[in-house]
Amino acid sequence: MFRSIILLIPIVTAAYDDPAQQLVAFKNSTQGPIGIMTTSNGAPVKYKYATGTLNSRLLFHEYFMDSLTHFSRERIPERVVHANGAGAFGFFEVTHDITHICKAKMFESVGKRTPIAIRFSSIFGDRGASDTLRDGRGFAVKFYTEEGNFDIVGLSAPAFVIKDPLFFTTFVRSIKRNPQTDLLDANLMWDFLTLRPESWNTFMRVFGDRGIPVYTNMPGFGIHTYQVVNDAGMSYFIRFHFVPDTEEKTLTSEQARGINSEDADYNKRRLFKAILNGDFPSWTFSIQILSVDDVKNADFDVFDVTKILPQDKYPLHPVGRMVLDRNPDNYFADIEQLAFNPANLVPGILGGLDKLFEARRLSYRDAHYYRLGANFNNIRVNCPFNTKPLTYNRDGHAPVKDNQKYLPNVYPNSFNGPAPVEPWRDFSEPELLHIIEADPNNLDQIKDYYQYTLTDGERKRLLENILSSLVSATQFLQDRAIALFNSIDPDLGYKVASGLALNTTMEMHYLGLK
Ligand X SMILES: *[C@@H]1O[C@H](CO)[C@@H](O)[C@H](O)[C@H]1NC(C)=O
Which of these ranges, 19-27, 52-60, 80-88, 240-248, lies near ligand X under the rule CB under 6 A? 19-27
Which of these ranges, 14-22, 286-294, 425-433, 473-481, lies near ligand X under the rule CB under 6 A? 14-22
Give whichever of 311 and 504 is closer to ligand X, judged by the CB atom. Answer: 504
Which of these ranges, 122-130, 262-270, 351-359, 501-509, lies near ligand X under the rule CB under 6 A? 501-509
If one asks whether residue 11 binds ligand X (CB under 6 A), the answer comes out as no
Helices 475-488 and 186-195, packing angle to 10 deg: 40
Pairing label, strands 235-244, 113-122: unpaired
Buried b (16+ CB within 10 A) or exposed e, 232-254: eeebbbbbbbbbbeeeeebbebe
The CB-of-195 to ligand X minimum distance in angstroms stands at 25
The CB-of-467 to ligand X minimum distance in angstroms stands at 11
25 vs 21: CA distance, rounded Å: 6
| Contact string 471-500 vs ligand X (x = CB under 6 A) | ------------------------------
If one asks whether residue 13 binds ligand X (CB under 6 A), the answer comes out as no
If one asks whether residue 503 binds ligand X (CB under 6 A), the answer comes out as yes
Helix spans in 283-332 (H): 292-297, 331
Classify the C-alpha dihedral 303-306-311-315 as positive or negative.
positive
Is 450 flagged in the annotation as binding?
no
If one asks whether residue 506 binds ligand X (CB under 6 A), the answer comes out as no
Which of these ranges, 22-30, 129-137, 420-428, 451-459, lies near ligand X under the rule CB under 6 A? 22-30
Residue 354 contacts residue 436 (beta carbons within 8 Å): no
Distances (CA, A) of 20 to 25, 166, 269, 324: 10, 44, 9, 20
H/E run at residue 25: helix 22-28
Give whichever of 6 and 506 is closer to ligand X, judged by the CB atom. Answer: 506
List binders of ligand X among 224-243 (CB under 6 A).
none
Classify the C-alpha dihedral 42-47-51-56 as positive or negative.
negative
If one asks whether residue 45 binds ligand X (CB under 6 A), the answer comes out as no
If one asks whether residue 21 binds ligand X (CB under 6 A), the answer comes out as yes
Q: How many residues bind ligand X (CB under 6 A)?
A: 9
359 vs 174: CA distance, rounded Å: 19
The CB-of-26 to ligand X minimum distance in angstroms stands at 9
If one asks whether residue 14 binds ligand X (CB under 6 A), the answer comes out as yes
Contacts of 164 (CB under 8 A, 6+ apart): 355, 356, 440
Annotated binding site for heme: 364
Positions in the binding site for ligand X (CB under 6 A)? 14, 16, 21, 24-25, 28, 501, 503, 508
